[in-house]
Amino acid sequence: MAETIVLRNIRVPMRDGITLSADVYRPNAEGEYPAIVVRTPYLKTSQVIFETGTYYAKHGYAVVYMDVRGRGDSEGEFVPYRNDGIDGYDAIEWVAEQPWCTGSVGTMGGSYLGRIQWLTALTKPPHLKAMISTVTPSDPFVEWPTGLPTPMHMCWVFMTSGRVMQNIDAVEWEKVYNHLPLATMDEEVGIVSEQWREEVKHTTLDDWWKHICYQDKFDQIDVPALHVSGWYDDEQIGTPLNFMGMTSNGATEHARKNQKMLMGPWPHQINRSTKLGDLDFGADSMIDLLGYQRRWFDYWLKGIDNGVMDEPDVDMFVMGENKWRKESEWPLARTEWTKFYLNSGGKANSRFGDGRLSVTEPGADGETVATGAAADEYDYDPSNPVPFITDMVSAQIGGPDDYAAVERRDDVLVYTTPPLEEDVEVTGPVKALIYASSSAVDTDFMVKLLDVRPSGFAQRLTDGMVRARFREGMEKQVLMEPGTVYPFEVDCWNTSHVFKKGHRIRVEIASSAFPKYDRNLNTGEELGQTSEMKVAHQTVYHTEEYPSHIVLPVIPKA
């Protein structure tokens, strides 16, 4: 007799009469088992789902894989995220009542599947005992603080249009991403997407978006969670934010004390290979992730005291050293928040310029005053944007890519330290404060952190951006006065990386990173609705009054 059985296309009723389709994997024996609910828009029919469901069933779990509303074999209309909280509640409570379930239910899944766990947790299903939230997207505009969906989001919109997975390889994506205006980009793919057009229409954090926010509501969530992501996950920022939000603001002490975070050297498709781009992070960079996650569920769903909650709260892979390390909190309590200031002789354009990065504040010594300039300047032309190195499909946006060739451009300001005299570990959130002005009423500023090897390979570590009209927040648009200097705070997400002796720390400043972000057309007109472009003349300052800098979370040597 087989160890496991699969019950297919089980109809699960929702409160409005719609039924969703589920496949149930469980041990092939009579009895009650803790259950794991996984709800997906990507169809419940893949080989990975079969292998994962079988694995857990062999270890004494019932696993319920369910097509979300409007996808696959489920009834209803697919409207991303809008119904997933309530549907999640109904699914969990239905599972808890089945004769093969103990009533102890957990949830897991990544990306879309991760975010809808949080929306479900907000509805407070009584039988939800624990979550594993993987590579989870943040609230609207946290990842893309532009007021618009990233052009590469169109790939996902097309892929999930209709009930089945669409063939994204049949589309010429570079042509699609260059389409203007953004509002009609769907036509370039050959569809008309109400979802895309609605997203483009809502350019501020209004009530339409707030309906699907969860990161402002951690104080309403009382669920232990294991948070999993990778340093090169293109939605990485959500995982540390969620871990910090729950440990600080969870609804109860029970919630606040029972959060764990795992961060590997991985892209959005976590733990698939030791290699990412040209880098190999070593054999230890891949782990027994199924076993790691099962320990979590064994504790919370089976009540097995396996010691998982006695271990430090953070498991993280330190790149550069390529070693795993356990920590007790995030950010690390021993962090030395260190400002690295931009400086130059006024010609920081390209990596061949004179841009310098130093812990010395502008004007702090005579030499800086004597040799430094007040600012660097460049022209940003939206018709010729600075490229962001990436595959053209949205399964993964960027990686540890070499930006040396991109840094040949004069519209990229490059600031670099001298070769390091000793190893420097940077682990934690990275933020920048850039003082800048523009000839335009609206424009963008991008900041990127890189590790430059002696060979010249300029490895991207992390980056971020700010759109000028949203410098005061995403709930309102405030245009600039041309020529006026403004402070721009840039969230560059997180990293854990050791810059080795002889390497150099580098910061890039530009005004585009295409197609990761849409091009700012510099006109100040309504976002996403126009095609007219203007060239913007940008000035980035580094003086005593305007000390542009990046703040690196330097970890002192033990």
Cβ-proximal residues to 357 (8 Å cutoff; 6+ apart), any chain: 340, 341, 342, 343, 415, 416, 417, 505, 506, 507, 550
User: What percentage of the chain exceeds 90 in pLDDT?
Assistant: 97
Q: Which CATH class is domain 4-148+203-327?
A: alpha beta
The kind and range of the H/E element at 249 are helix 238-249
* Number of residues in the chain: 558
DSSP state of 385: P
- The pairs formed by 307-311 with CB atoms below 8 angstroms and a separation of 24 or more are 308/260, 309/258
Distance CA 104, CA 60 (A): 13
Distance CA 68, CA 72 (A): 8
Token pair for 253: 């002490």
pLDDT band at 85 (very low <50, low <70, confident <90, very high): very high
C-beta separation of 218 from 123 below 8 A: no
Q: Which residue has the tokens 């849409």?
A: 518
Average pLDDT rounded to a whole number, residues 235-252: 98
Distance CA 334, CA 331 (A): 9
Q: Is the pLDDT of residue 524 over 60?
A: yes
Domains 4-148+203-327 and 336-555 alike in fold: no
Q: Which of 268, 503, 542, 549 is catalytic?
A: 268
Distance CA 519, CA 443 (A): 9
Write the pLDDT tens digit of every residue in 349-367: 999 999 999 999 998 764 4
CATH number for the region 336-555 comes to: 2.60.120.260
C-beta separation of 338 from 552 below 8 A: yes
Q: What residues does 499 pair with on adjacent strands?
A: 424
Q: Which amino acid is it at 293?
A: Q
Q: Which of 111, 344, 438, 496 is catalytic?
A: 111
Q: List the one residue out of 370, 362, 415 whose CA is nearest residue 542.
A: 362
Write the pLDDT tens digit of every residue in 200-243: 999 999 999 999 999 999 999 999 999 999 999 999 999 999 99
**What pLDDT, on the 0 to 100 scale, is given for residue 1?**
54
**Average model confidence (pLDDT) across the chain:** 96
**What pLDDT, on the 0 to 100 scale, is given for residue 363?**
80
The kind and range of the H/E element at 53 are helix 47-58
What is the 3 state secondary structure string of 180-201?
CCHHHHHHHHCCCCHHHHHHHH
Distance CA 353, CA 367 (A): 19
**What pLDDT, on the 0 to 100 scale, is given for residue 370?**
41
3-state SS assignment for residue 445: strand
Q: Which residues of 295-310 are buried (b: 16+ CB within 10 A; e: fewer)?
A: bbbbbbbbeeeeebee
Q: Which residues of 537-551 are buried (b: 16+ CB within 10 A; e: fewer)?
A: bbbbbbbeebbbbbb
- 383 included as an active-site residue: no
**What pLDDT, on the 0 to 100 scale, is given for residue 367?**
42
Distance CA 24, CA 101 (A): 11
**What pLDDT, on the 0 to 100 scale, is given for residue 415?**
98
Q: Is the pLDDT of residue 199 over 50?
A: yes
Q: What residues does 319 pair with on adjacent strands?
A: 497
Measure the CA dihedral 70/75/76/78, to 10°.
-10
Q: Which residue has the tokens 């990229």?
A: 412
C-beta separation of 421 from 501 below 8 A: yes
Q: Which of 84, 87, 222, 233 is catalytic?
A: 233
Q: List the one residue out of 475, 32, 496, 439 whose CA is nearest residue 264.
A: 496
Distance CA 315, CA 326 (A): 5
Average pLDDT rounded to a whole number, residues 360-385: 80
Checking DSSP bridges between strand 375-380 and strand 444-452, what pairing results, if any?
unpaired
Average pLDDT rounded to a whole number, residues 412-417: 98
pTM score, two decimals? 0.97
Q: What's the farthest any 2 CA atoms get from each other in the chain?
A: 83
Average pLDDT rounded to a whole number, residues 428-444: 98
User: What percentage of the chain exceeds 70 in pLDDT?
Assistant: 98
3-state SS assignment for residue 479: coil
- 193 included as an active-site residue: no
Q: Which amino acid is it at 71?
A: R
Q: Is the pLDDT of residue 368 over 60?
A: no
Angle between helices 112-121 and 238-249 (to 10 degrees): 20
Q: For residue 387, with 0-12 CB atoms within 10 Å meaning exposed, 13-18 middle and 19 or more buried, which class applies? A: middle
Average pLDDT rounded to a whole number, residues 61-86: 98
pLDDT band at 395 (very low <50, low <70, confident <90, very high): confident
Q: List the one residue out of 132, 123, 150 whose CA is nearest residue 217.
A: 123
Distance CA 61, CA 277 (A): 37
Domain chopping of the chain, boundaries:
4-148+203-327, 336-555
**What pLDDT, on the 0 to 100 scale, is given for residue 369?**
44
- 233 included as an active-site residue: yes
- The pairs formed by 382-386 with CB atoms below 8 angstroms and a separation of 24 or more are 382/512, 382/519, 382/520, 382/521, 382/522, 382/533, 382/534, 382/535, 383/533, 385/512, 385/513, 385/514, 385/519, 386/411, 386/412, 386/446, 386/510, 386/511, 386/512, 386/513, 386/514
C-beta separation of 231 from 240 below 8 A: no
What is 134-175 written as a DSSP string?
Answer: ES---STTTS-TTSS--TTHHHHHHHTSSSS---GGGS-HHH
